[in-house]
Amino acid sequence: MNRKELKKKLVDLCTQMHQQTVERLTEEMNEAYQNAAEYGNPEDWLDTYKMDMLRKRDACSLKLQKVGEEMKTLELINPEKILDKAAFGSVIITETQKLFIAVGLGKVVVDDETYFVISQSVPLFHAMKDHKAGDIFRFRDTEDKILEVF
């Protein structure tokens, strides 16, 4: 598989994971609202079930907003563009791991290869930012060599 195809698969997988999260959060939010609505008026002032359900709905709403922002960020990545240095949207292969700089999703598997999807705000990215293939960067007292960037 060529570099553009791999990057496209990574972007598609990240988008799919976010879409699944949106569906799950929307379901949780609707369920919490429905539970609160069906519960009716509290039995007494110590009864907090309804407020707990509404708080859960609000928490899901905030998470949903964050996921929506991350999806917009993913849309900014052009899988057709091959980058030559560690930057947003690049795939970086080092001697020890394979990374995709996008949004913080963690470990994903594409074609039986493990990649770590990280955001630009994590310290590891800052350690390798603007480095090119062949460069050595230092992170937490450990050196690592960048083998490929695209």
**Residue 9 to residue 20: CA distance in whole angstroms:** 16
pLDDT attached to residue 40 = 72
d(CA 125, CA 140): 12
- Kind of pairing between the strands at 113-119 and 98-102: parallel
38 and 96 in a single domain? The answer is no
135 belongs to a structural domain:
yes
Q: Are residues 62 and 97 in the same domain?
A: no
Residue 144 lies in a domain: yes
| Residue 99 included in any domain | yes
Q: What is the pLDDT of residue 45?
A: 66
pTM: 0.84
Length reported for the chain = 150
If asked whether residues 52 and 108 sit together in one domain, one would say: no
If one counts every other C-beta atom within 10 angstroms of the C-beta of residue 40, the result is 8
Let me know if residue 82 belongs to a domain: no
Query: Cα separations (Å) of 26 from 21, 36, 46?
Result: 8, 15, 29
Domain of 18? Answer: 3-75
Q: Is residue 118 part of a domain?
A: yes
Q: Where is the domain boundary, 75, 104, 120?
A: 75
Q: Would you give per-residue pLDDT tens digits along the chain (150 residues)?
A: 799 999 999 999 999 999 999 999 999 999 988 988 888 776 776 678 888 988 999 999 999 999 999 999 999 999 999 999 999 999 999 999 999 999 999 999 999 999 999 999 999 999 999 999 999 999 999 999 999 999
Q: What per-residue confidence (pLDDT) applies to 123?
A: 96
Reading the block at residue 104, the tokens are 């913080």
Number of domains in the chain: 2
Q: Tell me, what's the pLDDT at 132?
A: 96
Burial zone of 92 (CB within 10 Å; 0-12 exposed, 13-18 middle, 19+ buried): buried
Q: Of 15, 45, 75, which residue sits at a domain end?
A: 75
Judged on CB neighbours under 10 Å (0-12, 13-18, 19+), 91 is: buried
Looking at the fold, whether 55 and 108 belong to one and the same domain comes out as: no
pLDDT at position 41: 75
In a shared domain, residues 26 and 58: yes
